[in-house]
């Protein structure tokens, strides 16, 4: 194999990048190169052991970015974790493997992306993962025994399981609590989720109880293919173009072992560096807003002002309650108690069971606006939407904003569509402590159960752009969290509703009675208090997307429906940055499916097997 030329060069050996590498190298005639800035940590116990998730954050495996100060979160900078290792963020995430609501994917098509809908994409979800076998007794414990159907067609590389203690009482209590409130999911969410509570899959191998992720599932089984090459610790500096019009991507300049090198692509360069890094690399390569590029002395190859815009993410908050004494939680691990940690390590080494086999995130719920009054609340929210429609000048920004507002008007008040997502966590989180706050610093003694609440369909939009012409300088990231008033309104209402779920009969044996919050001073009785809590405590769920959006160019797009960058040839973007509208909750499963579909588009273009 030539050291200087490949058919395909993939920038980024992360979640999407390794899907592309595996599938494109299935054809032995195609030479595929992957350039990954991080290291190969496939044997690292911190990555493969599920409960060691927290240890990975801000480690060598994490880019550990920070936002600009967030005006609507009381000036706080928010930590943004993104995987810097082979496997990308799939190597350091919290293992959640859940689908979006059907309506969320169908919305992609309504935004102007013909052929991108749930009916098309569902088979690509099935291609990415394998659903676990579950016996009848376990189905009952998981509260999936009444599902009308399960998706048993899945035969993909990612191995999933209902991780941890299948019989933990939180699983049934969670589903019962939401069902009692009138919200029930009647079938496998991967067959088309709507609203209600359910036991969530995790990307944890049901046999080995180890993390199943892009590196272990997509790369390791095919790493010895003669036509596949992966360079780790290889920092891409820029994409190379010829001098023709329209410009054609012909290769990549990167640094490896302290030497700057160039490598060339005979077919395509595929950018898969993630929602925070792909726009950065486009800008460093001369594709982006010409004003930004010229301010850093970068030659403009293609003026594409929407690069780095449309950044959005799920903001979320946590509320914890004291758990009953006989309920198993992971708080001892959170406190890093030597005796508990030692015992857990022995148990995991012996039979892959115990506290280290799971992160303790067992259940999810997709929820519409809770307790929505059919006239008063609806009128108030529609009023907020009307008042805050984009007021900027005409152009792609205006067009894109109008699209998302029109979509929000249809979905946010739909009782069968999620505006919020709730998650069950068997431990206390590390809370955000404001100066002079009465909130106790943690982790505290005792056992806790935590409700995580995230905003499912935020309207706030931010940006990510270069701050220098040097690849080593982190991008300037401004998600602009909660800048749209309706986001604050909705997230605050969902936070308030947590108390109703916690107080439901289903939780009486899970939580100490009367309810005892971890933070006794927390008061979210009225909506203004709940809004203040959101602004003081909301943080990122690390589900960034949209910064190289697949949209019509006149509506703010960066790539077309074939994921080709507008105005240049032989260059695609295949990662979360191209996803135009955020998934209902965790993005992991959707990024795998997105990349699987991209493979078929690329193969079709070149007539490959």
pLDDT by residue (tens digit) across 103-116? Answer: 999 999 999 999 99
Four-CA torsion 518, 524, 525, 527, nearest 10 degrees? -170
Strands 228-231 and 158-159: unpaired
pLDDT by residue (tens digit) across 20-61? Answer: 999 999 999 999 999 999 999 998 999 999 999 888 999 999
Please tell me the least confidently modeled range out of 75-79, 435-439, 509-513.
Answer: 435-439
pLDDT by residue (tens digit) across 329-338? Answer: 999 999 999 9
Alpha carbon 463 to its chain centroid, in Å, reads 17
The two three-digit tokens of residue 454, written as one number: 């995230």
CA distance 435 to 363: 33
pLDDT of residue 2: 43
Q: Which helix (H) or strand (E) holds 239?
A: strand 234-241
Average per-residue pLDDT in the chain? Answer: 93
Residue 1: pLDDT band (50, 70, 90) is: very low
390 has pLDDT over 70? no
CA distance 233 to 33: 14
pLDDT of residue 379: 80
Q: What is the CA radius of gyration of the chain?
A: 23
CA distance 114 to 324: 51
125 has pLDDT over 80? yes
CA distance 417 to 204: 28
Q: Which helix (H) or strand (E) holds 463?
A: strand 463-465
Higher pLDDT, 376 or 76: 76
Q: Which of 427, 450, 352 is nearest to 50 (CA)?
A: 352
Strands 32-35 and 65-66: unpaired
Calculate what percentage of the chain has a pLDDT beyond 70.
96
CA distance 268 to 606: 10
Q: Which of 365, 212, 313 is nearest to 583 (CA)?
A: 313
435 has pLDDT over 60? no
pLDDT by residue (tens digit) across 248-289? Answer: 999 999 999 999 999 999 999 999 999 999 999 999 999 999
pLDDT of residue 395: 63
pLDDT by residue (tens digit) across 135-171? Answer: 999 999 999 998 988 888 888 999 999 999 999 999 9
* Catalytic residue IDs: 543
Q: Give the count of beta carbons closer than 10 Å to the beta carbon of residue 416.
A: 12
Q: How many helices (H) and strands (E) does the chain have?
A: 16, 23
Q: Which of 259, 312, 381 is nearest to 544 (CA)?
A: 312
State the DSSP code for 73. G
CA distance 447 to 255: 48
The two three-digit tokens of residue 322, written as one number: 């004291």
CA distance 15 to 70: 28
Please tell me the least confidently modeled range out of 92-96, 177-181, 441-445, 601-605.
Answer: 441-445
């Amino acid at each position: 194999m030539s050291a200087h030329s490949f058919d395909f060069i993939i920038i980024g050996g992360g979640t999407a990048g390794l899907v592309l590498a595996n599938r494109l190298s299935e054809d032995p005639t195609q030479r595929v190169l992957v350039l990954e800035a991080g290291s190969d940590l496939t044997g690292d116990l911190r990555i493969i052991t599920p409960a060691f998730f927290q240890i990975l954050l801000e480690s060598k495996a994490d880019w550990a970015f920070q936002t600009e100060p967030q005006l609507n979160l009381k000036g706080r900078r928010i930590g943004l974790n993104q995987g810097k290792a082979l496997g990308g963020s799939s190597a350091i995430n919290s293992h959640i493997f859940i689908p979006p609501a059907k309506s969320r994917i169908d919305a992609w098509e309504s935004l102007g992306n013909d052929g991108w809908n749930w009916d098309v994409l569902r088979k690509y979800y099935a291609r990415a993962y394998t659903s676990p076998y579950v016996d009848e007794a376990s189905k009952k414990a998981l509260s999936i025994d009444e599902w009308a159907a399960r998706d048993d067609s899945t035969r993909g590389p990612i191995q999933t399981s209902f991780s941890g203690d299948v019989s933990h009482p939180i699983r049934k209590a969670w589903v019962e609590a939401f069902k009692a409130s009138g919200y029930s999911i009647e079938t496998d969410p991967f067959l088309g989720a709507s609203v209600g509570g359910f036991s969530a899959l995790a990307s944890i191998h049901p046999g080995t109880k180890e993390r199943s992720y892009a590196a272990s599932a997509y790369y390791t089984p095919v790493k010895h293919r003669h036509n596949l090459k992966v360079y780790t610790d290889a920092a891409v500096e820029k994409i190379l173009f010829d001098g023709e019009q329209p410009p054609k991507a012909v290769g990549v300049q990167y640094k490896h072992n302290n030497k700057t090198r160039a490598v060339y692509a005979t077919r395509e360069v595929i950018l898969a560096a993630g929602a925070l890094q792909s726009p950065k690399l486009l800008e460093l390569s001369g594709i982006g807003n010409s004003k930004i590029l010229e301010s850093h002395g970068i030659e403009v190859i293609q003026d594409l002002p929407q690069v780095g815009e449309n950044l959005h993410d799920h903001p979320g908050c946590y509320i914890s309650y004291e758990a009953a004494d006989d309920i198993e939680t992971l708080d001892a691990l959170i406190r890093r108690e030597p005796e508990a940690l030692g015992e857990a390590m022995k148990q995991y080494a012996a039979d892959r069971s115990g506290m280290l086999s799971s992160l303790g995130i067992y259940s999810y719920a997709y929820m519409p606006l809770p307790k929505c009054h059919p006239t008063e609340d609806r009128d108030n929210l529609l009023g907020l939407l009307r008042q805050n429609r984009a007021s900027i000048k005409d152009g792609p920004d205006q067009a894109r904003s109008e699209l998302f507002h029109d979509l929000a008007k249809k979905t946010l008040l739909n009782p069968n569509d999620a505006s919020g997502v709730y998650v069950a966590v068997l431990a206390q989180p590390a809370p955000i402590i404001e100066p002079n706050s009465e909130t106790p610093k943690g982790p505290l003694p005792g056992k806790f159960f935590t409700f995580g609440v995230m905003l499912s369909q935020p309207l706030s939009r931010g940006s990510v752009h270069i701050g220098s012409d040097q690849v080593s300088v982190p991008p300037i990231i401004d998600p602009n969290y909660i800048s749209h008033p309706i986001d604050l309104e909705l997230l605050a209402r969902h936070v308030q509703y947590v108390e109703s779920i916690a107080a439901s009969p289903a939780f009486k044996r899970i939580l100490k009675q009367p309810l005892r919050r971890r933070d006794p001073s927390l008061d979210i009785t009225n909506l203004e208090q709940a809004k203040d809590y959101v602004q003081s405590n909301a943080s990122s769920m690390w589900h960034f997307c949209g910064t190289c959006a697949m949209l019509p160019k006149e509506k703010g797009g960066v790539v077309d429906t074939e994921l080709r960058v507008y105005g240049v040839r032989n260059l695609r973007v295949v990662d979360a940055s191209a996803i135009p509208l955020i998934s209902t909750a965790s993005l992991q499963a959707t990024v795998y499916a997105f990349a699987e579909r991209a493979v078929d588009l690329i193969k079709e273009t070149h007539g490959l097997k």
